[in-house]
Amino acid sequence: MRLGKVNLQVVSDGTFWEDGGGLFGLVPKVLWEEFATPDEKNRVCLETRCLLIEGRQQRILVDTGLGDKLTAEERAFLNVKGERRLLQNLANLGIGPMDIDLVINTHLHADHCGGNTIGEGTDGLLPTFERATYCVQRLELADALFPNERTQATYRLENLEPVQQRGQLRVLWGDTRITEEVRVVVTPGHTRAHQCVLIESEGEKAVFLGDVASWPVHLERLAWVSAYDVEPLVSIETKRSLARWAVEEHVLLLFEHHPQIMAGYLHPTERADRFWLEPVEIE
């Protein structure tokens, strides 16, 4: 799709399945299953959408999905199918790994940066995108390098160290303009330094949400917070500010994880803590 002078392409790294309790946190199952049908293991399906931004200056890829380094046990647990999902879908657009100039990770959880690197074994890993600079927030990098008991399962050095070792990592200190049309904005809550990617061109705006709102309902109902958010009360306030801005500025919201809804515009309701999303089809 075109946004002003910028071309946006949603590129998938496939789907995976995770426990509904993780996605919806303290929300009772009797409420959340109105929005998601769990399987016999109580898992719900999630997409791993990445965003390809083609502007006048650079070709940017936002997030890289789960990648292909999962063990057989992990793949079975998450019900991940297929190899080279992201790379194949990029190839379908005529884009190879060498064609990417910049990678922006919204954060460093494994389902958002697993495709940063490729190969087998600790010594055989390389950055997937050999020419690209990888952009990560400073505090996010610190949390990934020094995880705690809660976060160590999702922060994996193999998704980060090969990029650091080859000098391809750019550390960002807060909100940063990347190009004339693209900037990142720190949106804390899910992690301390989660960042959204804002695209602006010729008066049109879109934002790639990452895990600020994994599904539309997380933005429609501010109190619905994922169990994975390390600062849930901060998440609520981040979502409140983002939702009000999206309504006022008529911003196209791009969702990373919902299996059907890819994008939409947010509208207010009579309740200050509730909004409703108007889904839109994008190419």
Contact between 125 and 115 (Cβ < 8 Å): no
Closest CA to 13 of 110, 89, 75: 89
Contact between 159 and 112 (Cβ < 8 Å): no
pLDDT at 223: 97
- Token pair of 174 as six digits: 């807060």
Band of the pLDDT at 57, cuts 50, 70, 90? confident
211-268 confidence digits (pLDDT tens): 999 999 999 999 999 999 999 999 999 999 999 999 999 999 999 999 999 999 999 9
Contact between 158 and 144 (Cβ < 8 Å): no
162-206 confidence digits (pLDDT tens): 999 999 999 999 999 999 999 999 999 999 999 999 999 999 999
Band of the pLDDT at 282, cuts 50, 70, 90? confident
103-161 confidence digits (pLDDT tens): 999 999 999 999 999 987 667 899 999 999 999 999 999 999 999 999 999 999 999 99
Model's pTM, two decimal places?
Answer: 0.96
Between 56 and 96, the more confident residue is: 96
Name the average pLDDT for the chain: 96
pLDDT at 93: 95
CATH number of the structural domain 2-279: 3.60.15.10
- Region 36-53 average pLDDT: 96
What residue ranges do the domains of the chain occupy?
A: 2-279
234-246 confidence digits (pLDDT tens): 999 999 999 999 9
